[in-house]
Amino acid sequence: MSGDIAGKVAWVTGASSGLGHRFAQVLAGEGAVVALSARRGGRLELLGAEIAAAGGRALVLPLDMQDVAAIRAAAARIADELGPIDILVNNAGISRQARLEAFAEADYDVVMNVDVKGAFFAAQEAARQMIAHQRQGRIVNIASIAAFRALGQQAPYSMAKAALVAMTKCQAKEWGRHGINSNAICPGYIRTEIGGDFWDTEGGAKLIAGLPRRRMGEARDLDGLLKLLCSGEASRFINGAAMVADDGAMA
């Protein structure tokens, strides 16, 4: 445990798997009290038990990020049970794949509602608490290199991640005066369960072969960047940044 994250109240959305699961583990390992939210409550319970067994403290909050009223209720419960939010890791996200001309309205809506609308209102609730309690807050929005390049058959996902980067800059401009830093992490190709079996297919192998070091990233490769952006002191002059961590994929 190191740095100034210890004792902070951190809310991680989309914590049931993938990057969110790892982010929650990292922050708990740094001594933060962690609120875990995602739709899959059973997985959150397992993660919460793991954190508790390691000597940490976690609050499990099953949550659908499409439900703004539920987001507000979750934020209020965090404040009641853990204290005001110091750190928000806005990680919850979803993707749907189809050609532009065939993309269904329902799939478009779920991507935008979870990836953009949900993230917007989670940040709003966290910032309200930070401002009211004069917290030197840290908001970390998890975007993607998809914000800067078109991914095949995933237009709404790329659009949503670009919106997160723009939202990050708006947050930095408006909330910086309150001592809140807002930044985005834009990962490259990271192996998580969201990618399913694609990386083991011929198409996945071809994509990996085109990367500078012919390798996928792992969730742990983002640990240092996460800790930097969640730190009060180390990130004091980093605000409004969209930080790419892609092992040179866009070089």
How many CA atoms within 13 Å lie on the side-chain side of 46?
A: 8
From CA 164, how far away is CA 180, in angstroms rounded?
A: 17
Between strands 138-142 and 33-38, the pairing is unpaired
31-88 confidence digits (pLDDT tens): 999 999 999 999 999 999 999 999 999 999 999 999 999 999 999 999 999 999 999 9
Residue-level pLDDT at 77: 98
166-191 confidence digits (pLDDT tens): 999 999 999 999 999 999 999 999 98
193-251 confidence digits (pLDDT tens): 766 677 778 888 888 898 999 998 999 999 999 999 999 999 999 999 999 999 999 98
Contacts of 36 (CB under 8 A, 6+ apart): 12, 15, 16, 24, 44, 47, 48, 58, 59, 60, 61
Residue-level pLDDT at 3: 76
The pLDDT confidence band at residue 2, using thresholds 50, 70 and 90, is: low
110-127 confidence digits (pLDDT tens): 999 999 999 999 999 999
| Conformation bin of residue 89: beta by default, left when phi > 0, alpha when psi is -120 to 50 | beta
Residue 1 predicted with pLDDT over 70: no
pTM: 0.95
From CA 206, how far away is CA 227, in angstroms rounded?
A: 32
Residue-level pLDDT at 196: 62
- Look up residue 96 and give its two tokens: 């749907």
DSSP of 164-175: HHHHHHHHHHHH
Can you list the domains of the chain with their CATH numbers?
9-245 (3.40.50.720)
Write out the catalytic residue numbers. Answer: 157
Contacts of 128 (CB under 8 A, 6+ apart): 75
Q: What are the C-alpha distances in Å from 182 to residues 67, 124, 186, 202, 214?
A: 23, 12, 13, 38, 32
- Look up residue 86 and give its two tokens: 């110091």
Residue-level pLDDT at 251: 87
From CA 31, how far away is CA 4, in angstroms rounded?
A: 9
